[in-house]
C-alpha cells in the first residue's frame, strides 16, 4: 500500500469525529473524509474508497449496521471498524455479523483505537 492508509470517519457527533481523526492522524493515517449519517457514509465510501472506515452504530437516517451492510455490498473487501458506546454489546455483535472487522468502545482509548485500526488494515 503506497502512502498513508486512508480513513473515512463516520459519526453523527462532530467532537467524536475530531477525536478519532486526531488519534488516527497521530499514527500516520490520512483522513480523507467524514460523514455524519449512514447514507452519507455509503455515498462517501463509494466516492473515496478509503482503506478503513470508522463507523458509529447509532446515527440518524441509517444506522451504522445497515451502512456496513450496504458498503460491503459495494465492496466485499471493505474494512470497517465499529465505534459504540458502552452497553451496546448486542449491537456490536450484530455489526460483526454484518461484516465489521472490529469495534472500539467510547470513550475512546487511543491505544485501543490504533491497535484495532492497524490490525484491520494489515
| Number of domains within the chain | 1
Instruction: State yes or no: pLDDT of 89 exceeds 80.
Output: no
Q: Answer whether 120's CB lies under 8 Å from 102's CB.
A: yes
In a domain, 2, yes or no: no
pLDDT tier, 104 (very low <50, low <70, confident <90, very high otherwise): very high
CATH of the domain at 72: 3.40.50.2300
For residue 41, is it within any domain? yes
Q: Running DSSP on this structure, what letter comes out for residue 79?
A: -
Is it the case that residue 1 has pLDDT exceeding 50? no
What is the Cα–Cα distance from 24 to 30, expressed in whole angstroms? 8
Residue 14 lies in a domain: no
* Residue numbers of the domain that contains 29: 25-121
Beta-carbon contacts of 83 under 8 Å, excluding residues fewer than 6 positions away, are: 11, 16, 20, 54, 55, 56, 57, 64, 103, 104, 105, 106, 108
Band the pLDDT of 40: cuts 50, 70, 90.
very high
Q: Which of 46, 49, 57, 66 is nearest to 10 (CA)?
A: 57
Is 11 inside any structural domain?
no
Residue 102: all three cell numbers together = 472490529
Region of poorest pLDDT, from 3-7, 17-21, 56-60: 56-60
> In this structure, is residue 20 part of a structural domain?
no
More confident residue, 2 or 65: 65
Q: Tell whether 12 is covered by a domain.
A: no
Is residue 51 one of the residues assigned to a domain? yes
Global confidence as pTM? 0.94
Model confidence at 7, pLDDT cuts 50, 70, 90, reads very high
pLDDT of residue 2: 60
Residue 8 included in any domain: no
Amino acid at each position: 500500500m503506497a502512502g498513508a492508509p486512508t480513513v473515512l470517519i463516520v459519526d453523527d457527533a462532530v467532537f467524536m469525529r475530531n477525536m478519532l481523526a486526531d488519534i488516527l492522524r497521530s499514527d500516520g493515517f490520512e483522513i480523507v473524509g467524514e460523514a455524519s449519517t449512514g447514507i452519507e457514509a455509503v455515498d462517501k465510501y463509494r466516492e473515496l474508497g478509503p482503506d478503513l472506515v470508522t463507523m458509529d452504530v447509532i446515527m440518524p437516517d441509517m444506522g451504522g449496521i445497515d451502512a456496513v451492510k450496504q458498503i460491503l455490498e459495494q465492496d466485499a473487501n471493505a474494512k470497517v471498524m465499529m465505534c459504540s458506546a458502552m452497553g451496546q454489546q448486542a449491537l456490536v455483535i450484530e455489526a460483526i455479523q454484518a461484516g465489521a472487522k472490529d469495534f472500539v468502545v467510547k470513550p475512546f482509548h487511543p491505544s485501543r483505537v490504533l491497535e484495532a485500526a492497524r490490525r484491520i488494515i494489515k
